């Protein structure tokens, strides 16, 4: 039976490409803002297009923070993409009329890339984390990015007995090194758009769907 995936519809822009990409790799996909469906599905896909402030406002209106928190408390899979990844951190310096706090699932601040050309738009190589299951089979491939902000430092490094479950962090570079993807138990995220990354992105989505 195919994995049941919900793409969370919270007003984050055109998400039809994500729906189609997930369907192509064998998932049964529903685009909805229904909290019950978002809680019950095998995998929750959290898209993100636009700016941090708008995505956080849309998530709050759709009960996204509660849904994501409850899923992770139960060990149920969540995949955030682009700004859908950024909102998982503590906050962002992206300009707005109010403080930009994120969901705080990971420590870190989303900051503007210190590059001559911003946004970072196009295909880039990534430095895949050792032991990655998300990137299995596409470790040497390029992925498609469209963003001006990113997390440029990773500070969550478990020690002692927790070292064996340390998050797997994949990096890329545009002006500075930045976090391109994270795999942390049931919570995964990519700064790039796998649904726009051709065969490599399709393989990554298939790897995630198969894990559900």
Catalytic positions: 82, 193, 195
The 3-class secondary structure across 184-203, one letter per residue, is ECCEEEECCCHHHCHHHHHH
Q: How far apart are CA 51 and CA 38, in angstroms?
A: 23
Respond yes or no on whether the N-terminal peptide bond of residue 119 is cis (omega within 30° of 0). Answer: yes
Give Cβ neighbours of residue 104 (< 8 Å, ≥ 6 apart): 89, 90
Q: How far apart are CA 78 and CA 43, in angstroms?
A: 6
Q: How far apart are CA 45 and CA 31, in angstroms?
A: 10
Residue 159: both structure tokens together: 């020690």
| Residue-wise burial string across 142-160, b where 16 or more C-beta atoms lie within 10 A, e elsewhere | bbbbebbbbbbebeeeeee
């Amino acid at each position: 039976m195919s994995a049941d995936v919900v793409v969370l519809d919270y007003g984050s822009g055109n998400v039809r490409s994500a729906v189609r990409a997930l369907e192509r790799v064998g998932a049964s996909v529903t685009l909805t803002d229904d909290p019950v469906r978002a809680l019950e599905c095998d995998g929750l896909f959290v898209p993100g297009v636009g700016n941090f402030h708008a995505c956080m406002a849309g998530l709050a209106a759709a009960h996204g923070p509660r849904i994501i928190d409850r899923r992770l408390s139960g060990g149920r899979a969540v995949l955030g993409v682009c700004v859908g990844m950024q909102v998982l951190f503590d906050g962002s310096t992206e300009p707005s009329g109010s403080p930009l706090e994120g969901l705080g699932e990971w420590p870190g601040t989303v900051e503007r890339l210190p590059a001559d050309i911003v946004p970072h738009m196009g295909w880039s190589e990534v430095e895949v984390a050792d032991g990655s299951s998300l990137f299995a089979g596409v470790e040497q491939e390029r992925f498609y990015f469209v963003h001006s902000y990113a997390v440029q430092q990773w500070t969550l490094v478990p020690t002692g007995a927790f070292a064996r479950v340390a998050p797997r962090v994949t990096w890329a570079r545009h002006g500075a090194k930045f976090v391109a993807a994270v795999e942390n138990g049931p919570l995964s995220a990519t700064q790039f758009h796998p649904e726009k990354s051709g065969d490599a992105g399709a393989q990554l989505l298939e790897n995630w769907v198969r894990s559900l």
